[in-house]
Amino acid sequence: MGTEKPHPKSVEALLGTLRAHGFRVTPQRVAICAVLAGMQIHPTAYDVYDAVRRERSDISLATVYTALKALTRAGAILDLHTAANNSTHYELDTRPHVNFFCTRTGRVDNIAAASVGALKQAIELDGRTVSDMRILVYGTTDDADRQSPHDS
């Protein structure tokens, strides 16, 4: 259907990126990275918080936000701010690709068939240099099987 699962990242890859950028690795961040590494969705902070709370009841939403901000600053994950519903979803696949945001369900999917290489080449034709690409397409999907994790 033109979608693929997010690029898997290991807990150690996430923690290593934090360390390499001078961020502390705390037990809470280890738990958050473990949850993120196992997620097959583009989670919101609330999704991460809900999942981590199942393992660690002592974690706060503020701690989750702080950890996600550190991971974003370190370049381990990306934040996908969706203007459609003013929410932020997090992306573990930091390679250039296209994301599709369903304005009906709130779900974000990776679109494997879309070529960002051709767009990059077109942009660079007249001497521009592309250093990063984040493409977020808005629309709706007819697939009844695709529900937002918030719907269940």
Tell me the CATH number at 110: 1.10.10.10
| Assigned domain for 34 exists | yes
Report which listed range, 48-52, 83-87, 113-117, 140-144, is most confident.
48-52
- Identify the pLDDT of residue 106: 86
| Assigned domain for 54 exists | yes
| Assigned domain for 59 exists | yes
- pTM assigned to the model: 0.77
SS (H, E, C) 87-151: EEEEECCCCCCEEEEECCCCCEEEECCCCHHHHHHHHHCCCCCCCCCCEEEEECCCCCCCCCCCC
| Assigned domain for 151 exists | no
Count of domains for the chain: 1
In whole angstroms, how far apart are CA 108 and each of 122, 130, 152?
26, 24, 16
Q: For 27-46, how does the pLDDT look when each residue is reduced to its tens digit (9 = 90+)?
A: 999 999 999 999 988 999 99
| Assigned domain for 102 exists | yes
